[in-house]
């Protein structure tokens, strides 16, 4: 009895609303599988309570937390240090706490990259990114840092695409340009990887980004960030045309793996996480 330890390692997430965030189920299943006595607490933190929540995590000696909307930029002023890509992206979604010091990371792009690397190495590749929101920004920066040769960013609002292209060109060795997205766009010949980083397809298995499907060619990798439903209309069409497809579940799972590695220095089982999410989303392999 004397040597039993009733104190769990504490991790979690700060966002609002938080009720539909399945990360807690995914990470706690992997903690259990690994026999780690740790908890992941999904906390609803309103914008005006972020400072108190961060101070609370430090006071209770949490080892780290994720933060999602609306805290990804606001949390930065509460941190002591930023990792390279988080600094370039200008947003943090994963904080580790070591000896009371708070270190900000961005795992959105890193999670995508880890998932992409399961099918191809982006180094030297030409990439088309659809969308220019937070996910696109993180993915674009990580691809640039991972040695992608050239990035084309296209977005309904072209100013946001210009901002991301400039960020990549200024901070990584990757060339970057903007393509207008008026009506249906064509994928240029020589493109190796196409990424849908818009929210088109979220919760809608029939939604399709306006793109000329015949320009998706055999041998291309077509990736989607949409986690639910994972097999989007775009991926179904691309797969039917001989492209290698990559769904958004892998990005979500790898973000979990990378976050826990930052907090605990332990690599959790991605298969357990993947199966937990598939069960929640009602999909099979
Ligand atoms: P943002 O709101 O920051 O960006 C949304 C993007 O989608 C913008 O580029 C927006 O264009 C574009 N968009 C939305 N609707 C349309 C439309 N009808 N036509 C053309 N473009 C459209 O969101 P995030 O970047 O944070 O997230 C994007 C998606 O990525 C979400 O669906 C989210 O679920 C998913 N995601 C997945 C993750 C994972 O781990 N799998 C992690 C993070 C996000 P515009 O700028 O012109 O409005």
Q: Is-catalytic flag, 72?
A: yes
Q: Is residue 46 part of a domain?
A: yes
Domain carrying residue 93: 9-105+250-281
- Retrieve residue 159's tokens: 């100013």
CA of 114 from ligand 1 middle (Å) equals: 20
Q: Is residue 117 part of a domain?
A: yes
Domain count across the chain: 2
Same domain, 242 and 271: no
Q: Is 225 in the pocket of ligand 1 (CB under 6 A)?
A: yes
DSSP one-letter code for 48 = G
pLDDT tens, 114-159?
Answer: 999 999 999 999 999 999 999 999 999 999 999 999 999 999 999 9
How far does CA 14 lie from the centroid of its chain? 16
Residue 119 · residue 143 · CB < 8 Å = no
Same domain, 68 and 129: no
Note the ipTM here: 0.98
Same domain, 173 and 237: yes
Q: Is 273 in the pocket of ligand 1 (CB under 6 A)?
A: no
72, 125, 237, 267: which is the annotated catalytic residue? 72
Q: Is 28 in the pocket of ligand 1 (CB under 6 A)?
A: no
Nearest to 141 by CA among 107, 185, 187, 115: 107
Same domain, 126 and 238: yes
pTM reported for the whole predicted model: 0.95
Averaged pLDDT of the chain = 96
**Which CA distances in Å does 9 have to 27, 28, 38, 198?**
13, 12, 4, 35
pLDDT tens, 203-233?
Answer: 999 999 999 999 999 999 999 999 999 999 9
- Retrieve residue 185's tokens: 């766009």
Same domain, 131 and 154: yes
Residue with tokens 């097999």: 231
Same domain, 120 and 241: yes
DSSP secondary structure, 152-187, as one string: EEEESSHHHHHHHHHHHHHHSS-EEEEEE--SSBPP
Q: Is 243 in the pocket of ligand 1 (CB under 6 A)?
A: no
Same domain, 230 and 119: yes
Q: How far is 236 from 223, CA to CA, in rounded Å?
A: 11
Q: Is residue 63 part of a domain?
A: yes
The reply to whether 190 sits in an annotated binding site is no
Same domain, 161 and 190: yes
Q: At what angle do helices 248-264 and 107-116 cross, to 10 degrees?
A: 120
Give residue 1's pLDDT.
62
Give residue 103's pLDDT.
98
The reply to whether 255 sits in an annotated binding site is yes
Could you tell me the CATH number of the domain that includes residue 218? Answer: 3.40.50.720
Could you tell me the CATH number of the domain that includes residue 39? Answer: 3.40.50.10860
Same domain, 37 and 117: no
Q: Is residue 3 part of a domain?
A: no
Same domain, 115 and 27: no
């Amino acid at each position: 009895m004397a040597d039993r330890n009733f104190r769990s390692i504490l991790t979690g997430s700060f966002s609002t609303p938080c009720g539909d965030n399945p990360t807690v189920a995914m990470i706690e299943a992997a903690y259990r599988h690994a026999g780690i006595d740790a908890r992941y607490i999904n906390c609803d933190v309103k914008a005006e309570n972020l400072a108190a929540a961060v101070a609370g995590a430090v006071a209770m000696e949490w080892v780290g937390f994720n933060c999602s909307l609306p805290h990804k930029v606001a949390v930065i002023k509460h941190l002591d240090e930023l990792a390279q890509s988080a600094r370039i992206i200008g947003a943090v979604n994963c904080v580790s706490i070591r000896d009371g010091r708070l270190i900000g990371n961005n795992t959105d792009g890193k999670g995508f990259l880890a998932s992409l690397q399961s099918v191809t190495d982006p180094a030297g590749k030409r990439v088309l990114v659809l969308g220019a929101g937070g996910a696109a920004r993180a993915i674009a920066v990580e691809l640039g840092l991972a040695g992608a040769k050239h990035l084309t960013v296209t977005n309904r609002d072209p100013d946001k695409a210009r901002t991301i292209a400039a960020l990549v060109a200024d901070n990584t060795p990757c060339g970057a340009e903007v393509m207008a997205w008026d009506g249906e766009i064509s994928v240029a010949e020589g493109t190796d990887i196409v990424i849908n980083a818009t929210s088109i397809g979220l919760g809608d298995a029939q939604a399709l980004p306006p793109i000329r499907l015949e320009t998706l060619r055999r041998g291309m990798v077509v990736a989607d960030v949409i986690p639910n439903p994972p097999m989007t209309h775009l991926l179904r069409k691309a797969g039917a045309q001989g492209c290698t497809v990559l769904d958004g579940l892998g990005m979500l799972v790898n973000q979990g793996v990378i976050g826990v590695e930052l907090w605990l220095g332990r690599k959790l089982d991605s298969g357990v996480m993947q199966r937990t999410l598939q069960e929640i989303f009602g999909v099979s392999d």
